[in-house]
Structures are given as C-alpha cells and as structure tokens.
Amino acid sequence: MKNEVFSQRLKNARLIQGMTQDEVVFALGETLSKNALSRYERGEMMPRYHILVALAKVLKVQLEYFFRPFTVSISQLDFRTKQELPSMERERLQLEVSAIMERYLLTEQLLGLESRFVNPLQALPALKTAEEAEEAAQRLREAWKLGDHGLMNIYGMIESFGIKVIEITTSEAFDGMTGTVNDNIPMIVVNTAMTVERKRFTVLHELAHILLWFDASLEPKMIERICNRFAGAVLMPSELLKDLIGPTREQIGLRELILIKNHFGISLQALMYRAAELNYISRATIDRFRNYIKTNPREVDLGDFHGKETADRFEQLVVRAYHSNRITRSKAAELLQVQEQDLDRFYDVIW
C-alpha cells in the first residue's frame, strides 16, 4: 500500500509540474535513470532517501506529500475555456486542484470545521431565458442578505456559504471551472492570469453553473449567456446601475465608466454590456464602444478596481491552526507549499 500511494503521488507531482520523465531525469543529473523513475511510478520499487529528497526538490513538494493518503475525489468537472484544452492540461489542472483541496480540507479537519452548503436557489424552476437570470440573481441577493449595493469581496462571500474558491496559474485559454469535492462540496476554480475585474465576473459566472438549473432544450451557448446575465446581475443590480448612469443614454464618457469600474470592480466591457442588455444605453453607443475596446480587451491603463480579491480563506485557516497550536510551523509551511524560512514574518507575532 505504501508503494501504491507513493507511486501515484510521484506521478501526480510530475504531471502537476508539467514535466515528462525525461525532464525529471535531466533535472536530477546523473543521480537517477529513466528506467528507475518509471519503476518508482509503477510502484515496483522505492527510491533511497537522497533520491527522494532530490525528487521532492525538483517537483516542488514536501517529503510528506509522497506518503499522504488520498482523501479527496473531485467529480462533475465542468471547464470554461476560450479554446479546447489538451487532455494532459486538463489532467494537470485536476491533479493540482485535488492537491490544493487535500490541504484545504485537512486544515478544516484539524480545526474541527465542517463544510456545509445549501443551494438557496434550489427551488427555482429550470431557466429558459437570460431575462430569468435577473430574478434568480435578485433571489440570491435576498437569500444571502447582500442588499442592493456593490460587492467588495466576492471570493470571501461565496466561501462563507460553503463553496470553495481556488485560484490557479495556467494557460490563458482557461477561464474557470466548477466541480464537486467528495460528492458534497461545490468548488470554483479561476485563472490567476485574468484581471481582477475579470476574475470577479468569472467566479460569479461559475457560481451560476452551481446554483441554477437549465432547461434541457437549451444549447450550450444559451446556457453561457444565462450565466453571464446572472453574473452581471449579481455584480451590478439593475437599480444600482440605473442610479449610477441614469436613464437611457445616447452617449457615455470613458472617465465616467472608469470611475464606476474602480469602485465596483466590474470591467468596462461587462459594465457596458450590462447597460446595453438593460436598455440603459443605445445600440449605437455599445457599437461605438466595441470598436474602441477591441484593440485593448484587457483594458490596460483604463482603471483598476480599488478593492482586493484574493482566495485567502485557506491561508487564514492555516494561520489560525498554527497559532492555536494545532499544527507546527513546519506543517504550516507544508500546507501552504512554501519553505519554512519563507513564512511571512507576521506569522510569529502573537499577542
């Protein structure tokens, strides 16, 4: 059993790093042959200690990782990508997310916490139109007591209701995905490569895939449109947007939009498309905007959200466990996947 766990962990660590067996052997110099590495991954033999240490360094894991029992299964993965991801990249993403969730759930277990999720929209009928997403978004705001104002910390809000949010660094073709951990914990994954405004919108789009039901007759493109409408409505309620830009406009200024983006954390594009779908701006206005923004889709030098959006609940729980003497400093480093000496100096300030 020990060899089976080790062999799969070794292979997983290699795949997460996106390395071939040849690349691992090259990184280790002449200390390991490809044949030996293959036998390790098949569970046919175990490496000596100095090889094990070298493998951990090359694959950027702690030694403990190789022997930790598997405690997480991820199912119902649903990817959102700009283009089809290679199967190896999909596998790498799934393995990386699984490794993160193992450490996350272990930390919760050490603190005696239990993940609980109840879908506040489970009683809604299957959605057929984008307009129905407006009602669903309003129902969510009421259920989660969000009011009608802007949202400062979307990640934190979602996690407080039992949905795990993870950021990973990967290909720009990947936007986000949803999945289920151990059959009962919903999960949202977003790409760190996106702008903060795009991440905020994407995580709400993925939230729609978790909370909403869709009519079986709908095409995938229509489902995505409904999820976009839901994300926009949660991020910027119709009445709030009406208060910000007034009734139907024939023209709107760039500086006006940037100020809204900076304060409410919504991209210029999402803001304008939201205004267009609510008929707050004219078709000619949105057409002029599309021509303007198509050469700068990342909105470089066009404002930045003044708030902060980070998936830091897991780190907060690790720090809590550390200062509650539930884990050692070395265990904290292992959970956070950093070297012990690299733990922030603030970890050791205690009152």
Which backbone phi and psi does 125 adopt, to 5 degrees? -70, 165
Q: What is the pLDDT of residues 43-102, one digit of tens each?
A: 999 999 999 999 999 999 988 899 989 999 999 999 999 888 888 899 999 999 999 999
* % of the chain residues with pLDDT over 70: 99
- pLDDT higher than threshold 90 for residue 122: yes
Least confident interval from 21-25, 91-95, 167-171, 346-350: 346-350
Asked whether 181 and 74 are in contact (CB, 8 A), the reply is yes
Asked whether 10 and 40 are in contact (CB, 8 A), the reply is yes
What is the average pLDDT score of the chain? 93
Q: What is the pLDDT of residues 174-228, one digit of tens each?
A: 999 999 999 999 999 999 999 999 999 999 999 999 999 999 999 999 999 999 9
User: How much is the average pLDDT of 149-153?
Assistant: 91
CB atoms within 10 A of CB 277: 19
- Distance separating alpha carbons of residues 351 and 76, to the nearest angstrom: 44
Using only C-alpha atoms, the chain has a radius of gyration, in whole angstroms, of 23
Task: Tell me the pTM.
Answer: 0.92
Task: Say what the pLDDT of residue 350 is.
Answer: 79
- CB-based contacts of 66, cutoff 8 Å, min separation 6: 5, 6, 9, 10, 13, 52, 55, 56
Which backbone phi and psi does 282 adopt, to 5 degrees? -80, 165
- pLDDT higher than threshold 90 for residue 351: no
Classify the phi-psi angles of 127: left when phi > 0, otherwise alpha if psi is within -120 to 50, otherwise beta: beta
- pLDDT higher than threshold 60 for residue 14: yes
Per the model's pLDDT, the better-predicted residue between 174 and 347 turns out to be: 174
Q: What is the pLDDT of residues 277-312, one digit of tens each?
A: 999 999 999 999 999 999 999 999 999 999 888 889
Task: Say what the pLDDT of residue 2 is.
Answer: 54
- Distance separating alpha carbons of residues 78 and 188, to the nearest angstrom: 10
User: Closest by alpha carbon to 78, among 187, 151, 218, 173?
Assistant: 187
**Residue 323 banded pLDDT, cuts 50, 70, 90:** very high
User: How much is the average pLDDT of 122-140?
Assistant: 96
- Distance separating alpha carbons of residues 283 and 186, to the nearest angstrom: 38
User: How much is the average pLDDT of 126-142?
Assistant: 97
Task: Say what the pLDDT of residue 171 is.
Answer: 84
Task: Say what the pLDDT of residue 348 is.
Answer: 81
- pLDDT higher than threshold 60 for residue 346: yes
DSSP secondary structure letters along 161-197: TT-EEEEE---TTEEEEEEEETTTEEEEEEETTS-HH
Task: Say what the pLDDT of residue 1 is.
Answer: 46
